[in-house]
Amino acid sequence: MSALFDWRQQTIVMGILNLTPDSFSGDGLLSQADYHEKALELAAQFVHDGALILDIGGESTRPGAQSVSAEDELERVLPVVTELISKLPGTILSVDTYKAEVAEKVLQVGAQIINDVWGLRADPQMASVIARYNAHVVIMHNRETRDNVEIQQNLGGHYTKTTYVDLIAEVSQELMDSVRIAEAAGIPHDHIILDPGIGFAKTVEQNLFLLNHLDEIAKLGYPLLLGVSRKSFIGYTLDLPPAERLEGSLAANAIGILRGANILRVHDVKQTIRLARMVDAVLKSG
């Protein structure tokens, strides 16, 4: 069991705070002049609605997005993380970054989780930084490349040419490769959370298949984070833009809980909390 939360008792909801100008879902707060205040307001609303964790990101990870420097990322996220520590005590703060320099600064001020979309493989110092601060880590599966992305104006970007011989086996193996990096650096077993990386370097069909077989990933024995909210595989399945993907996101999250997901990373916290509590109640009924 994690020292931060009991993921076995009920589904945990993580609210997304995108401090970026170019989020795929249209919720990038940096495009607003008063983005700092907007971020604090949204964070408070998420906590009021039931989010146990807030995930703060300063670089878009949408297909085809441009990378930003560590300095720019820190300029976006560090003031918000620092203020949330004092204004929302008891809330667990996660920072979505793959840069060790960013991770160290936010962990110094009190963040408790690093959400690494590259599974500790983008920055060789990341695992040791997380271990040094005794933090938790979300290890995500990602084979992403920038040369197989197709973008449609209304639906956004998606991957079209990613090849797997055995999707579930390969995702499982590559996640465990990252787990070994974490453990070699001294990150405790119960500080590791796995994310199968739905939406990252996978076609629409592969994302649907992976979601339907999450129970195989759950067998690896770590809490499982699911990030499907408003993603393009939902949009391409339903032919809907990001602003109209609530129902599809809720359906995908319900399937995720049934298949073993423990943490849901979402934009729509209130609706997802209600969904999760209902699914949890049914599952606990025996």
Residue of 105, 230, 245, 265 marked active site? 265
User: pLDDT band at 24, cuts 50/70/90?
Assistant: very low
Assess whether 76 carries a catalytic annotation.
no
Mean pLDDT for the stretch of residues 78-106: 96
Positive or negative: CA dihedral 268, 209, 141, 238: negative
Instruction: Tell me phi and psi for residue 155, to 5 degrees.
Output: -105, -15
Angle of CA points 84, 63, 17, to nearest 5°: 10
* Among 151-165, 178-192, 251-265, the least confident range: 151-165
pLDDT of 2: 61
pLDDT of 3: 67
State yes or no: pLDDT of 158 exceeds 50: yes
pLDDT of 143: 86
What is the domain class of 12-284 according to CATH?
alpha beta
Identify the residue whose tokens are 């300029």: 75
229-272 pLDDT, tens per residue? 999 999 999 999 999 999 999 999 999 999 999 999 999 999 99
State yes or no: pLDDT of 115 exceeds 50: yes
State yes or no: pLDDT of 85 exceeds 60: yes
pLDDT of 182: 98
Residue of 62, 230, 231, 245 marked active site? 231
Mean pLDDT of the chain: 90
Mean pLDDT for the stretch of residues 193-199: 97
In the chain, % of residues over pLDDT 70: 87
* Among 60-64, 195-199, 276-280, the least confident range: 60-64
CA distance 157 to 111: 31
* Residues near 141 by beta carbon (within 8 Å), at least 6 away in sequence: 119, 171, 174, 175, 178, 194, 195, 196, 197, 200
Assess whether 231 carries a catalytic annotation.
yes
User: pLDDT band at 95, cuts 50/70/90?
Assistant: very high
pLDDT of 37: 87
